[in-house]
Structure 1
Amino acid sequence: MPSLSELYIIFENLLLCENIVVLAKNPQTCSQFCSALIDLIRPIPYAGETRPYITMQSDFFTSGFQGGAPNRFVVGITNPFLLQRLSTLSGAGSGTVPHMLCLQNNERSIPIKREKSLRHRNTPAFDIPGAGGLAPPTATKKYLKVDSSFVQQLDSLLKDESAFEEIGPFVRRHFAELTAQFLAPFSRYFAASMSPSVATPGGNLAYANFSEADFLQSLSKHGTSAKFRGQNHFQRHKARDALYGSFCRSPNFYSWLEMKFSLEKEASAGLLG
């Protein structure tokens, strides 16, 4: 991974149900890392296909719509020659090259910020055998502001061999808080806009009439505790609205909404202890 700050880009990609490919030296490493990635956005369900480890012979390539590969996925691989195949599939399905994470087994510490020399490479896997011919990646948009305190603490934990067991819980806790901050405006919006007149005959709230425009108006009025990138008020609000708008149009939003509806239905029926 090029930098610790990259975690925020990965978080945004997961939030928007975009494609991610993890390349590691062995199946165990890529499997564990893929599983850890999905945890970053809990309780939002990742609506795409999650395959912690696939090979050339995997049924992943025929498990999607009409016998093709899934359009949205997080997959782990150890064979670099699969990068080209996955890149082609992703481009045909969603129109964008997947975000690629190459995990290296070395003792060099991960920098807090991506080195400038790596930002302008022509390929996403410039030093990986078998990655030749990959198209240059689409520029990754960055919306959320990196918490410098978090990445500095994470950097310290990574350098402390005795703190290895603390790293996973520390990262999950931080992004769980960030996810909660991100979702809070939706809870506020639904609480204010869902009245008895929009309830189903069974008394359950109906979210089918959700309006992205109305939600963004509510967001503009009440704001969010999540921090966004930008040098001024206008840029931060633009980044905020762009991320929330993209999320509202992503498969993850509907997966989360369905889960939220199901939990509320169970709670109203007294099924949750």
Structure 2
Amino acid sequence: PMILGVTNLFFLKALRSIPHIVSVGSPPANSSRTTLASRSSAGRLPRQPERLGHQQSSLRRFSPSSLLNAVRLRREGPLCLMTEHKEAIWSTYDAVTKPDTSVLNRLIDAGTSARVEESMSVVNNEILRRHFLELTTNFLSPFGPYFKITIPAEGSSPFKESPSLPSFNAEEFLSGLAKRGPGKFLSKRMRSNWLDLYRRFLNGHNFLPWFQRKCAVAELEQNRLWRQARLRTDIQNFISEMSELEIVDSFNSIERHLLGELQLQQSGKGAPDSMTVCQKLKGDLQAVFNVLPKDMQELILMNPDKAALVRGT
């Protein structure tokens, strides 16, 4: 993308394929171009003296006449700047969202005072920030199930492996979203091409890094919750109800968690409670080992590394 700033309006004739044109400021006092029609693309009037501030504020609000002015300005195109100055925007971009007049009408005209303008800018920025935050949150909400954290159900063993996050397929996501619709909030604020916006988001450069980062955060939080559950749970409460296969799976799972904690300790990345967790897991590993079949116990003890873990050395 390139931004080209010009004062010579003949560029408008020479470069007719410019996709976006923004006209700002006021023409010089000796300019031959009149400013009688210097309404903005939203139909706003030129700044009036401060004593008319209240009247000006009401005129700057959204109204049917301002909409007609905006439509007329769009139809005339940027070449109208050749005869008179207007603060306006012309763009070939096809907007996906509809203008939210309730937000536009809440924006406050700053007036001519610099001090008032600064304070009102803070208010307007907060209004716009909340508006776009709400839009973004609702737009991203369909991705929520892919970051859903699963915690051990009450009465279930936390010593097994935690489940993986749901896998993501772009075509399945778009197909399901097309059937469900964008939701009540977005349906009122988006045009009929809302699904294309999701498709462009998925194909854009920002989606994959954002999605991977969200998945990584969700996985870390899920692992943390399962780790806490293993620390709080007494494995003796589950051993008596486990089948032989479940006992073997629990032994292998506890061994992996214990090795993971030990590796973090050795690398200096262990959590403050890592020593406590290791001692707890060693005790759990020994408890499960004691109920394993004798032949499997002998097989485990033949491996020096596994034997060291079981004996707590």
Shorter chain as denominator, the TM-score bin is 0.3 to 0.5
Higher helix share: 2
Larger Rg: 2
Q: TM-score, normalised by structure 1?
A: 0.44
